[in-house]
Amino acid sequence: MEKTLSIIKPDAVAKNVVGKIVDRFESNGLRIAAMKKIQLSVSDAGKFYEVHAQRPFFGELVEFMTSGPVVVMVLEGENAVSKNRELMGATNPKEADAGTIRADFADSIDANAVHGSDSLENAKIEIDFFFAGREVL
Ligand code: CMP
């Protein structure tokens, strides 16, 4: 069993497709171990995406992630990290396979509907960033 972090980004929250996205996870063997809707501050988003701080898209990424509420979740299941990434599809929705979350709900590489941890090691760091141990059930 693995745990991974998922974020439903401001574009998908604004489109009111949170339930449809959660259904993709639940219908594919992942369980919601924690979930909350929050508004990220510039400081939160900057810290969360610190690894991208030197990338040219960092400013736009922070601006977008703070443009409206997000839903953050801990997903649990067998191979949860890779399963979540498979369900999300490629970062750029134009390259995402048909039937993936990003192919179906995302508009652009910035407004790409969801974030998912890219490794088990980062999943732990990202889960701890958003949730206290007692919130993960
Ligand atoms: P995410 O998985 O949340 O991780 C970093 C985000 O930066 C990524 O999804 C994209 O939404 C955004 N981004 C914008 N431009 C790029 C790019 N050229 N390469 C990777 N990520 C990008």
Mean pLDDT of the chain: 98
Q: Which residues of the chain have pLDDT under 70?
A: none
Residues 101, 104, 107, 109, CA torsion sign = positive
Question: CB-based contacts of 83: which residues, under 8 Å, 6+ apart?
Answer: 28, 29, 30, 77
pLDDT in tens, 22-55: 999 999 999 999 999 999 999 999 999 999 999 9
- 116 Cα nearest atom in ligand 1: 2
The answer, yes or no, to whether any atom of ligand 1 lies below 6 A from the CB of 92, is no
Question: 10 Å Cβ neighbour count for 104?
Answer: 16
Distance CA 98, CA 127 (A): 28
Q: What is the 134 CA–ligand 1 centroid distance (Å)?
A: 30
Residue nearest to atom 14 of ligand 1 (CA): 110
